[in-house]
Amino acid sequence: MQRSTIAELSRQLRGGSVTSRALVERYLAAIEALDGSINAFITVCGEQALAAADAADELLQSGQAGPLTGVPLAHKDIFCTTDAPTTCGSRMLEGYVSPFDATAVERLRAAGAVLVGKTNMDEFAMGSSTETSYFGPTGNPWDLNRSPGGSSGGSAAAVAAGMIPAGTGTDTGGSIRQPAALAGVTGFKPTYGRVSRYGMVAFASSLDQAGTLTLTAEDAAILMEAMAGFDPRDSTCADLPVPAYTDALNTSLAGKRIGVPKEFFDAGLDSDNEQCVREAIAVFEEQGATVVEVSLPNLHLSVPAYYIVAPAECSSNLSRFDGVRFGHRHEEVTDLESFYKLTRKEGFGPEVKRRIITGAYVLSAGYYDAYYLKAQQVRQLISEDFKRCFAEVDLLAGPTTPTPAFLLGEKMDDPVQMYLNDIYTIGVNLAGLPGISVPCGLVRGLPVGLQLIGPQFGESAVLNCAHIYQQQTQWHDLVPAISASGSDGDSR
Amino acid sequence: MALSKKDIQQIAHLARIEVSDDEIADYVDKLSQIIGLVDQLQQVNTTDVVPMAHPSDMYQRLRDDEVSEVNQRELFQRNASAVTDGLYRVPKVLD
């Protein structure tokens, strides 16, 4: 079996050459065959998926189908779903079944997508390797000894291996773009506020944003048209019309200005990664774009600023896990304070506890101004750097990560080294911008990601540029060693 | 800045997380590294920089005060492990 895009599957479904049931059966078989070694899924919901596929097939028969009707899809296990558990990769939420659907889930369901499973992730999305999951690490289909990145590593690995055509993800500091880069798929993070956060388990509310992991930018555009848009249930969701992203995909790049931030090519960048990214940027010049060097002078401050802002928001958001209304509960104590403390000690893993405690520290009396307020000011400086760039250029281009996929366990005992892996992605979240990572080469047999960044609500230009790149190159078609099409094929 | 065991115990208490004696050395080590990382910001001149709490350029929306949700207590309490007569059970708070 070959990997297929949503665009291809949608055409086949509407043309009648395949049924949704046949597709769901095919993907369930791929999961059955591969996921024992990859561990990309926390939950597979075969029965519900087949029932939803049958309903989609009836719609397809009646000619009322949309572009997503009958298309199999996986959700990162951070999105609340009424028909499958939502664990957020944590013991704290093991067995939790949400009484409501997340808005993104509800909209994709209404558009006809069939939920096949929930994908693995770093616990509460706190991590860059999918190793902090309570349900075990996910392997990278390119090399099972390596991490697929994180926190949306389950969706990235599942798409790379052909276990699902597309998955959702969330990106707080790079959690869609970084795993996309390390697993060799396309990861799109829209502008903060473009997709409702309602029903997405909160980590850092001023940074979290939902997006997609797909084989192509075109598929990201198709999913975004269904997911994006105003939702009164999220007070930070933008009340702006959603453009027809798919209509803009083929717009010529002639006359576009692409900025290359010099700070993205610092000493930390692997020289082979750099070469792939430079070659990718040359493709835009061939397509008529003008490439200019720009500067983000405060970029090096983005990791420290993020590791104050994100833990501060996390410590506040995760205070809801008290063992009373939902989630893990410590049973054996008689006083309330020990009940809370032991419930949270047992329910949360080490990285989540480190972040909650870091957050409590930077918000505590005497440290608030020195840390939290300072970080918010530095966030302003970083955001202003991006604004200055976008006064000159349409898009920014650079690497997504400093290196290709690292070994499982390599950075687990050194949180700061793990954090620094997100140096090129975190600033985008602090400024609330849209960004995408697309495959742009192989280094030592492992995929490398090119990152494109747009101004706020500039999703169309980002997707357009990524799509044109994928029309000119085949990197996104390369298939990893462990995949549904076997290791003998060299393209999708 | 290095944190002490006492700092960790105090912050963990504020965060309502039990930290046992055998875990505390690891917390001291890793949290000190994290604080060391974020301490870089102290070097930055941020005089007159307006703090940025949020990337959105918008005002808080208000809505009419109307009933928008129906009572779904039983559905919501399905996820609670200790419920009696529709009430959530917790350890005794008052003597």
Ordered DSSP codes for A323-386? SSSSS----S-SSHHHHHHHHHHHHS-HHHHHHHHHHHHHHSTTTIIIIIIHHHHHHHHHHHHH
> Which H or E element spans position A72?
strand A72-76
A129 flagged as catalytic? no
In a domain, B25, yes or no: yes
User: For residue B82, is it within any domain?
Assistant: no
pLDDT of res. A12 = 97
Using an 8 Å CB-CB cutoff, list chain A residues near B24: none
The mean pLDDT of chain A is 96
Question: Among candidates A178, A317, A375, which has minimal Cα distance to B35?
Answer: A375
Closest Cα in chain B to A355: B31
Residue A276 maps to a domain: no
A485 has pLDDT over 80: no
pLDDT tier for residue A489 given thresholds of 50, 70 and 90: very low
Q: Looking at residue A229, what is its pLDDT?
A: 98
Respond yes or no: is residue A175 known to be catalytic.
Answer: yes
How many Cβ atoms sit within 10 Å of the Cβ of residue B49?
16
CB count within 10 Å of CB B2 equals 11
Distance, CA of A488 to CA of A331 (rounded, Å)? 53
CB contact under 8 A, A415 and B91: no
Whether A320 has a pLDDT exceeding 70, the answer reads: yes
The residue range of the domain holding B16 is: 5-41
Spatial neighbors of A339 by CB under 8 A, at least 6 apart, are A323, A330, A333, B90, B91
**Domain assignment of residue A235, yes or no:** yes
In a domain, B20, yes or no: yes
Residue A78 in this model has a pLDDT that exceeds 60: yes
What pLDDT is stored for residue A424 in this prediction? 97
C-alpha to C-alpha distance for A310 and A306, rounded to whole angstroms: 6
Residue B30 inside a domain? The answer is yes
Dihedral over Cα of A256, A168, A200, B31: its sign:
negative
Say if residue B1's pLDDT is above 70. Answer: no
Pairing of strands B83-84, B87-88: antiparallel
Pairing of strands A167-170, A41-44: unpaired
Q: Give the residue-averaged pLDDT of A389-413.
A: 97
For residue B74, being part of any structural domain is answered with no
> Cα dihedral angle (B55, A181, A211, A234), rounded to 10 degrees?
-30
Query: Does any domain span residue A315?
Result: no
B12 lies in a domain?
A: yes
pLDDT band at A444 (very low <50, low <70, confident <90, very high): very high
- CA torsion through residues A261, A203, A195, A476, sign: positive
pLDDT tens, B36-92?
A: 999 999 999 999 999 999 999 888 888 899 998 899 999 999 999 999 999 999 998
CATH number at residue A253: 3.90.1300.10
Task: Report pLDDT for B69.
Answer: 87
| B77 contact residues in A (CB cutoff 8 A) | 325
Q: Which domain holds residue A238?
A: 6-262+389-477
| Residue A490 confidence (pLDDT) above 80 | no
Helices (H) and strands (E) counted in chain A, each on its own, are 15, 11
Contacts of B38 in chain A (CB under 8 A): 304-305, 307-308, 362, 371, 375
CATH number of residue B9's parent domain:
1.10.20
- What is the tally of structural domains in chain A? 1
B35 has a pLDDT exceeding 70: yes
Domain total in chain B: 1
- Residue A315 phi/psi, 5° resolution? -65, -35
- Reported confidence tier of residue A488, pLDDT bands at 50, 70, 90: very low
| pLDDT (tens digit per residue) in A276-314 | 999 999 999 999 999 999 999 999 999 999 999 999 999
- pLDDT tens, residue by residue, A368-385: 999 999 999 999 999 999
Which of these ranges, A11-20, A329-338, B70-79, has the smallest mean pLDDT? A329-338
A12-16, A244-248, A411-415, A462-466: least confidently modelled range: A411-415
Interface list for A 215-254 with B (CB within 8 A):
232, 235-236, 238-239
Partner B, chain A 369-398, Cβ-Cβ below 8 Å:
370-371, 373-381, 383
* Inter-chain residue contact A192 with B55, CB threshold 8 Å: yes
A417: in domain: yes
> Closest chain B residue to A412 measured between Cα atoms?
B30
Residue A417 near chain B (CB below 8 Å): no
H helix or E strand, kind and range, residue B77: helix B73-77
Residue B54 lies in a domain: no
CA neighbor of A140 nearest in space, from A402, A477, A446, A441: A446
The span from the CA of A470 to the CA of A458, in Å, is 19
The string of DSSP codes covering A150-213 is SSSHHHHHHHHTTSSS-EEEE-SSSTTHHHHHHHTSEEEE--TTSS--TTBPPS-TTT--EEEE
Say whether A335 and B92 touch across the interface (CB within 8 A).
yes
How far CA A35 is from CA of A29, A127, A415, in Å, comes to: 10, 21, 28
> Is residue B68 included in any domain, yes or no?
no
Say if the Cβ atoms of B80 and A325 lie within 8 Å: yes
Picking from A86, A377, A421, A429 by the largest number of B CB atoms within 10 A of its own CB, the best residue to mutate is: A377
Distance from CA of B23 to the nearest CA of A (A): 10
Question: Is residue A76 annotated as a catalytic residue, yes or no?
Answer: yes
In a domain, A99, yes or no: yes
Q: Give me the mean pLDDT over the A83-92 stretch.
A: 98
